[in-house]
Amino acid sequence: MEKRTYIAFLISILILAGCGKTAGSGETVEDKVISKMTSTENSDTLQIETEQSAQIEDSTLEESNNLAETKFTGRYVDDLGSGYEKSEMIITKQDDGDFVVDFGVYKLLYVTAALGKYNQETNTLSFEGIDDNGNEIAASVFPEENYLSVILIKSPYSDVSKGTVLKYYPEGYYPVEAH
């Protein structure tokens, strides 16, 4: 009887250990190890890809913020006057990151070298300075699709009082209004 038990035990072990297969799964031990390694590698790869994606997104966001900031620079004209009498706004960015704005309103005022600061959160350029009549002028500039909106924050003039919105277009671009 001992001999039969011993033989049955050996056959069971051989069946279970045969060809590296585990009982009931049909999957070899090698398959399980490779699967586990691949799973770990996939997890690591996914984490690396996620980190790279976040870095790309951050750099893209940084670039778009820089683009938004540089959108302001240039020479713009309003749509109030005609020909060479149009008002202008010239925005330049300084090396320190601040802006200098020359700003005019048709036949009313002109501000030279007003100091401006860019607010990244609101995508707004705000500036203030003294006009050619000695009055303090302050405004905020917002980029629109094809022009800049200028909202006067401080102005002693009734024609362009606080809250007045003016449109300044890139030089050479003149809107065609539908009638």
Residue 62: inside a domain: yes
Q: How confident is the model at residue 63 (pLDDT cuts 50, 70, 90)?
A: very low
Q: Same domain for 90 and 53?
A: no
Domain that holds residue 26: 2-68
What are the angstrom distances between the C-alpha of 32 and each of 25, 42, 50, 136? 10, 15, 26, 77
Give dist(CA 146, CA 149) in Å, integer.
Answer: 10
For residue range 13-48, what is the model confidence (pLDDT) as tens digits? 656 665 554 455 555 555 554 555 445 555 555 555
Q: Which of 68, 83, 116 is the last residue of a domain?
A: 68
In a domain, 178, yes or no: no
Sequence-distant (6+) residues with CB within 8 A of 83 are none
User: What pLDDT, in 10s, does the model give residues 109-122?
Assistant: 899 999 999 998 99
Q: Provide the domain count of the chain.
A: 2
158 and 81, same structural domain? yes
179 assigned to some structural domain: no
Same domain, 75 and 105: yes
105 vs 30 pLDDT, higher one: 105
pTM over 0.85, yes/no: no
How far is 104 from 128, CA to CA, in rounded Å? 13
